[in-house]
C-alpha cells in the first residue's frame, strides 16, 4: 500500500503544477486582453480625414500678382483661399479645430494656369511669410506642365490648432514678367477625436 500512495502524491503534484500554470496563463491572457481593449477603445475614439474622405480636407489657394511685383524674374505673394477653409471643412465633418489631435499636409499641387507666365520654380510656406513651415518646394517645372505635385508630408498641428493655416506665402520664379496667378491645392491629413 505505501508504494501505491506515493505515485498518487506525485500525480497530484503534477496536476497542481498544471493547474497553477494554467491559472497563471489565464490571468496573463485576461490582463493582455484588458490592456489591448483599452488601447483599441482609445484608438476608436479618433477618425482620419484625408483626400479619400467624403468631405476631404483639401483647401484651394490662389496667388495673384501684378507685373510690377516681379523683380528679377521672382515674385513673392500671399494667397487667398478659393474654397472652403479648414474651419468650414471640419464643421461639415462634425468637428472643430480643437478636436484635431494630429495634422499634416500630405501634398501640395502647384497649378500654373495657361494664361499666366510659365513657372520656373516655387517655394510655398504656411503662413504670411517664409518663416512658416515650408509645405511645397518645386525646383523645376517640366515644359508644358500645367501642374506639379510636391508630396512631402509636413506636420502642421500647431498651425491648424492655432488658426494659422488660412494663408500661404509663395515665392515663384517666372519665365517672363507680367500679371499672373498661381493656384495651389493643399491636401491635409487630419486626425480628429470625439467620434
Q: Torsions phi, psi of 9, nearest 5?
A: -65, -40
For residue 71, the surrounding DSSP H or E stretch is: none
Q: Between 145 and 66, where is the model more confident? A: 66
pLDDT higher than threshold 60 for residue 25:
no
pLDDT at position 23, please? 58
Task: Measure CA 46 to chain center.
Answer: 14
Contact of 183 with 136, CB cutoff 8 Å:
no
Q: Is the pTM of this model over 0.85?
A: no
The string of pLDDT tens digits covering residues 72-105 is 999 999 999 999 999 999 999 999 999 999 999 9
Amino acid at each position: 500500500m505505501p508504494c501505491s500512495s506515493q505515485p498518487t502524491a506525485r500525480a497530484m503534484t503534477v496536476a497542481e503544477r498544471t493547474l497553477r500554470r494554467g491559472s497563471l496563463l489565464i490571468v496573463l491572457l485576461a490582463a493582455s486582453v484588458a490592456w489591448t481593449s483599452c488601447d483599441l477603445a482609445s484608438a476608436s475614439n479618433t477618425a482620419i480625414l484625408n483626400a479619400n474622405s467624403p468631405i476631404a480636407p483639401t483647401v484651394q489657394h490662389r496667388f495673384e500678382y501684378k507685373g510690377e511685383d516681379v523683380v528679377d524674374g521672382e515674385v513673392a505673394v500671399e494667397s487667398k483661399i478659393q474654397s472652403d477653409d479648414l474651419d468650414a471643412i471640419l464643421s461639415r465633418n462634425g468637428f472643430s479645430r480643437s478636436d484635431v489631435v494630429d495634422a499634416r499636409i500630405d501634398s501640395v499641387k502647384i497649378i500654373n494656369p495657361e494664361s499666366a507666365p510659365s513657372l520656373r520654380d516655387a517655394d510655398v510656406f504656411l503662413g504670411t511669410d517664409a518663416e512658416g513651415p515650408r509645405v511645397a518646394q518645386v525646383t523645376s517645372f517640366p515644359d508644358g506642365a500645367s501642374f506639379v505635385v510636391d508630396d512631402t508630408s509636413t506636420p502642421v498641428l500647431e498651425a491648424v490648432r492655432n488658426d494659422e493655416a488660412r494663408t500661404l506665402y509663395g515665392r515663384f520664379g517666372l519665365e517672363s514678367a507680367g500679371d499672373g496667378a498661381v493656384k495651389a491645392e493643399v491636401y491635409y491629413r487630419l486626425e480628429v477625436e470625439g467620434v
